[in-house]
């Protein structure tokens, strides 16, 4: 997908009540590494996060390069007051007019409505600026918080994908639930 054609050459920055969604910067590497060291943050992901601050620099370069190449748009979720990175949120796996959404957030910031704000903004970009028709998410069945969030935003659970996601470190493959939201069902909250 050609993001620069649809969103402009400059990576978008969005302000909400509590957060700023922006491009990741090299200075974000220590904060990124720090919150990924918490098992509660990476428990339901397909990797354990960057294993060092040095790896965090590499990951930031890969994600930012992915924007330029059109395979991912990954925002830093930054605390609006301090500009410290507290999570990321992305759209990726673009096929036709469909994409996947994913996210993670520092445990320190859980239960404050921050991820709801971030997801709503990214959905708005996906549907209203990128012209997507469907955005989907795959979620571990045990990830009750993420399932509640998606349901609250009107995503529909469509079924179980057996042995769908294999962890890059442990090799363990687990079942995932698939959720979807269509453009016609989206209303920014």
Is residue 136 a contact partner of residue 101, using CB atoms and an 8 Å limit?
yes
Predicted confidence (pLDDT) per residue in 126-185, tens digit: 999 999 999 999 999 889 999 999 999 999 999 998 977 776 556 678 889 999 999 999
* 1 vs 22, residue with greater confidence: 22
d(CA 141, CA 135): 19
d(CA 117, CA 125): 13
CATH (residue range 3-132): 3.40.630.30
Predicted confidence (pLDDT) per residue in 60-102, tens digit: 999 999 998 889 999 999 999 999 999 999 999 899 999 999 9
pTM of the shown model: 0.92
Q: What pLDDT, on the 0 to 100 scale, is given for residue 45? A: 72
Predicted confidence (pLDDT) per residue in 100-135, tens digit: 999 999 999 999 999 999 999 999 999 999 999 999
């Amino acid at each position: 997908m050609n993001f620069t054609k649809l969103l402009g050459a400059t990576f978008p920055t969005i302000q909400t009540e509590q957060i700023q969604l922006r491009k990741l910067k090299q200075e974000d590497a220590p904060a990124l590494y720090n919150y990924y060291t918490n098992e509660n943050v990476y428990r339901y992901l397909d990797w354990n996060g960057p294993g060092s601050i040095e790896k965090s620099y590499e990951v930031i370069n890969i994600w930012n390069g992915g924007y330029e190449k059109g395979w991912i748009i990954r925002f830093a979720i930054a605390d609006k007051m301090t500009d410290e990175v507290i999570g990321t949120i992305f759209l990726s796996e673009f096929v036709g007019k469909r994409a996947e959404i994913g996210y993670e957030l520092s445990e320190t910031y859980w239960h404050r409505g921050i991820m709801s704000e971030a997801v709503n903004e990214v959905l708005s970009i996906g549907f209203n600026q990128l012209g997507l028709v469907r955005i989907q998410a795959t979620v571990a069945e045990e990830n009750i918080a993420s399932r509640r969030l998606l349901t609250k935003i009107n995503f529909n659970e469509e079924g179980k994908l057996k042995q769908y996601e294999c962890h890059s470190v442990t090799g363990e493959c687990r079942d995932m639930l698939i959720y979807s939201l269509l453009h016609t069902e989206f209303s920014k909250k």
